Structure 1
């Protein structure tokens, strides 16, 4: 015998309530996984990677807080346990001082990205090819090197470069945004400019640039970006620890997110969620087996 339409409506309504209750219970259970606190530094690369890790952890049911700090404070926050981790440790050179200070108080999970590089960068049309040639063209560069925030590891290395090459150019501090703005303005006017640079960074996709040769090898060779977590994190949150431990991607993948973040009015968090949704084959490799 056929069910009365009203009975069918009641059955569907009950089913909807049951499904809703299950989803609510699932959400509550997901929230029970706890809160993960990630610190980062306001570099385009670290904004990209930290937001991607936030999106992945949230997908897996964790709540995530992000705090932007100077490089020194970022490391210190993990050492003191104020932050659970960072995916922004440039080693072995850029953040060597920080690792030396707090390395015994944190856990290094190893590299999440290979193929980084540091150095001085100029437009490809510049006649200068080596750091050793900068003094001969100091006037063309307005007697200055455009840097970023003074606490960044690359700034300390660049001070060493100024000393090692006895440069007559002054290192000017600022931020990542002021550095790329100076680069943009100079290129629009086909002028010379020299800036602190690192790979991966979206500026290499936007403009035709080149690294100046570093014959004294002050900047060192290629680096890696490591994931660092606080002591006790594995015991406290083993699943989140496993995800952070497995996180690894390429400069090209990071570059995709950084370019998304350069679009007008874009939101790095929303871009990260979109990238995660579009690259589940990659993300699944970071997740522990069920």
Structure 2
């Protein structure tokens, strides 16, 4: 099974931020720049964040806020998964918080196993799906081919290079005989716009999606059953650190916090919804994080206990 999954940017503003990140500008506004490697034990922490992976963006922004409140200087650096894992192995990034296992990122973890360390899973409810409007006439992927007309003979996908796209093309479509449906892969923002339009029009739609994602809070949708298991099993979201950095006694406090970090999907949805749905035109997430943290103060306080 292919193991690279790309995700969505929340808006044109977020696309701009990510583009800046690719030229070594940080997302947090006080970036130290991509030419400086993070120094273990200095009170500075560099977090590698996958471009467009919203659950990773959300928890990275949350942890940047939490750690800065504890007196650390945090630099969020955006890149695609491959360079993040490579940079993690060389300590250009100290930590990344969005490793999908046991399948999606297994190749990266295996490649850099000698230089990175697993700090544990913080969410155990991640999975890939085909989602439909809640009143759609089918319940399972094995019903889609014979009911294709009800969905205008279309499957709305995400980015062409996404792992979910490749799994759909190589596993789901042949497994369920969906070759006669048009499968569009123009991008995740386009998929979400199609989903919004269909919801407003009261029309049936089938889209490729994943959990956790704020769309499950924002739209009346449900997942189709996958009786053949073509989309794979549940995956866990892990935090990984550079092994040398994690072994440095000066970083023991932060390592301990991250090892104990957990966040269920409902709580994550609420944070993602505030960041990427309710506030689509913002570039600075910090005020949103601060407001969300105040509303969830007991949870946030527990992250550093």
Query: Normalised by the size of structure 2, how large is the TM-score?
Result: 0.75
Residue 104 of structure 1: how far off its partner (Å): 4.2
Q: Does 1:244 align with 2:261?
A: no
Match of 1:207 in 2: 219
Match of 1:234 in 2: 246
- Where structure 1 has 5 or more consecutive residues not aligned to the other structure, the ranges are 1-30
Question: What is the root-mean-square deviation in Å for CA atoms of aligned residues?
Answer: 2.4
Residue 195 of structure 1: how far off its partner (Å): 1.2
Match of 2:188 in 1: 176
Whole-Å Cα distance in 2 between the matches of residues 44 and 153 of structure 1? 15
Residue 213 of structure 1: how far off its partner (Å): 1.0
Query: Normalised by the size of structure 1, how large is the TM-score?
Result: 0.79
Residue 151 of structure 1: how far off its partner (Å): 4.2
- Cα deviation 1:55-84 (Å, max 9, x = unaligned): 111111112122233333333332343322
Of structures 1 and 2, the larger Rg is shown by 1
Q: Does 1:55 align with 2:69?
A: no
Residue 233 of structure 1: how far off its partner (Å): 1.7
> SS state of the match for residue 214, structure 1?
coil
Match of 2:297 in 1: 280
Moved more, 273-282 or 214-223: 273-282
Moved more, 55-64 or 91-100: 91-100
- The 3 A distance-change label for structure 1 pair 270 and 103 is farther
Whole-Å Cα distance in 1 between the matches of residues 83 and 166 of structure 2? 16
- The 3 A distance-change label for structure 1 pair 174 and 72 is farther
- Among 163, 167, 191, the alignment partner of 2:178 is 167
- Cα deviation 1:85-120 (Å, max 9, x = unaligned): 211112223333433443444211111112223210
Whole-Å Cα distance in 1 between the matches of residues 153 and 108 of structure 2? 30
- Where structure 2 has 5 or more consecutive residues not aligned to the other structure, the ranges are 1-40
1:11-90 aligned within 5 A? 33-90=43-100
> SS state of the match for residue 42, structure 1?
coil
- Cα deviation 1:200-256 (Å, max 9, x = unaligned): 221111221111111101223322211111221213433332222222111121112
- The 3 A distance-change label for structure 1 pair 118 and 77 is same
Whole-Å Cα distance in 1 between the matches of residues 175 and 114 of structure 2? 31
- The 3 A distance-change label for structure 1 pair 98 and 129 is farther
Tell me the number of residue pairs that the alignment of Structure 1 and Structure 2 aligns.
258
Asked whether the 8 Å contact 1:179–1:195 carries over to 2, the reply is yes
Match of 2:204 in 1: 192
Whole-Å Cα distance in 2 between the matches of residues 75 and 53 of structure 1? 19
Whole-Å Cα distance in 2 between the matches of residues 182 and 74 of structure 1? 31
